[in-house]
Structure 1
Amino acid sequence: MKILFEGIVNTCFTILFMAPAPFCVDDARNSILEDGFYHLVDLEQPEQNVEMEPEGFALASEYGLDFCKLKVLDDMRVRSILQSFFDWSGLGLYLRYGRDPGHNFSFRRGGAKAGLRVLIVHMWSKGSRATYYCGSHLHSLPTIKAANGLFEIPSAGLRIAACQGKDIEFPNGGLVILDARLAFEIKQGSATTFAFTTKSELATWAKMTLPKSHGLAQKVAEMESTGIGVNFAFEE
């Protein structure tokens, strides 16, 4: 009986403290293709000591560019996902969106005909909550241009298309990679947002302007050294 009991305890201990499943780029790619997004549950922190401030920090600053490089561009999981979709990718958008409950947005529209041309990375602040609508990237949904520059999608359109929302909580922050056509809702917190696309697509996007300074120029060069392009321009 003692041996059996010890065996049960050891088994339970192993299950409770089992390491999370290793990251698999094929699983991530399939999830993005089918559901429209992939949630990196076990967000690994880089060794470099760069932490998100409690309140929004300036993105167009040396700290902001360091944050982008260390938290996203240097993350091999993010890089491997980008490489699985694009031969070359560049950062074309870097900004932050705050909570806006009751409103559903997407970065692109057009459904399946529009194709996958842009991937978005959401870096969520602690305590955030969001809903991602599975499969909505494959439907050409009705939209209106929103004040935040995104496309707002009426909830009725998502219901008609039978797109089920998946609620995700980020008590300690987290990271999600999504097809830019996917509908999402920010219920709580904020998402520092990065958009990656192909070279031909990026050439049509407006430049992200930065104040002219030696420090910022050095940070941009460090970002470019990762092999991922950036779409910055310096003010004259």
Structure 2
Amino acid sequence: MASTTTFALDVAQRSLLEKGFFVLDDSLAGERISEMEERGFPYFTEYGLDFCKQFAFDERIRSILEASFEKCSLGHWLRYEDFPGHVECFRRGGPKAGRRVLMVHLWAKGSRVAYYVGSHLHDMATSRGRRSLYEIPLSELDRVGSEPEHKEFPDGGFVILDARLGFEIKQGYAITFLFAANEVLANWAKIILPHSEALEEKVSDMEKESTKIGLNFTFKASPGGGTTMKTETLVPMHIAES
């Protein structure tokens, strides 16, 4: 088992380095996303945190994150819907920016996306898009010779990618987790969860998954007036519907 895990990690790391993304096999992803949608995307619940733990802290994701960062934390939890005709990325700057943020795309059934191979390795001109992402002109992608690799997920899918990579969501949507090196998170706000002993217990269990991957959640004030804090800093659990 150890040799298989090591080989898989080596393959994933090489793909992330060279192509900018790696597709993970997961036959349950589409069904779980459909269930999440049917429930109305209840992120701030016990069910939502169980969902987060299953995918954001998947054993393969953990191994890639632990191999990529000295310390990192879950920074954003978003839902990106389709935006055909627009190539987007979360970070820009190419080699100068470095690989400091990794994204996990959980694709709903029937989704289609184009990942622009190697685009994470180039510093390109960008503009601010409509949903807090950078948009990359096709002329820039042509200039650096980045070609799209088209992926279809009739049954849903599971992908980890460099946050500098350009992608175009042609159809469907992706529930997205972003993990960032702790120095990147220094100026980000905290994720705020409702006060709940059950949720606090869930967070405590998730924190035990890895000594190198943080959550940095904070809870709303308790009925007694106090605020429960978990670990350090992080961004709000922002849900992008556009």
Q: TM-score, normalised by structure 1?
A: 0.83
Bigger radius of gyration = 1
Alignment of 1:151-166 (within 5 A): 151-166=134-149
Deviations 1:51-102 (A, max 9, x none): 33262512222211110101231x2111111111112221111111111111
CA deviations over 1:29-51 (Å, ceiling 9, x no partner): 011011111111x21549xxx93
> Partner residue of 1:141?
124
Paired amino acid for 1:72: A
Residue equivalent to 1:30: 14
Q: Please give the alpha-carbon distance, in whole angstroms, between the structure 2 residues aligned to 1:106 and 1:231.
A: 24
Pairs aligned (count)? 211
Residue of structure 2 in register with 1:83 after alignment: 66
2:43 aligned partner:
59
Q: Percent identity?
A: 51
Which stretch of structure 1 is more off in the superposition, 101-110 or 88-97? 88-97
Q: What residue in structure 2 maps to residue 229 of structure 1?
A: 214
Matches within 5 A, 1:157-236: 157-227=140-210, 228-236=213-221
Specify the alignment match of 2:227 in structure 1: none
More deviation, 124-133/59-68: 59-68
Structure 1 runs of 4+ with >3 Å offset: none
Please name the residue that 1:132 is paired with: 115
Alignment-mate amino acid for residue 37 of structure 1: F
SS in 1 for 2:187: coil
Q: 1:102-141 residue pairs with structure 2 within 5 A?
A: 102-141=85-124
Structure 1, unaligned runs of 5 or more: 1-20
Partner of residue 12, structure 1: none
One-letter identity of the residue aligned with 1:130:
V
Q: Alignment partner of 1:27: what SS?
A: helix
Please give the alpha-carbon distance, in whole angstroms, between the structure 2 residues aligned to 1:89 and 1:130.
Answer: 27
1:188-215 CA distances to partner (integer Å, 9 max, x unpaired)? Answer: 1111111112222223322122222222
SS of the residue corresponding to residue 106 of structure 2 reads: strand
Consecutive unaligned residues in structure 2, runs of 5 or more? 222-242
Is 1:120–1:179's contact at 8 Å kept on the other side of the alignment? yes
Q: For residue 11 of structure 1, what is the aligned residue in structure 2? A: none
**C-alpha distance in 2 between matches for 1:211 and 1:115:** 34
SS of structure 2 residue aligned to 1:131: strand
TM-score of the aligned structures, taking structure 2 as reference length = 0.81
8 Å Cα contact 1:45/1:71 also seen in 2 = no
Q: Is the 8 A contact 2:12 2:22 kept in 1?
A: yes
3-state DSSP class of the match of 2:188? coil
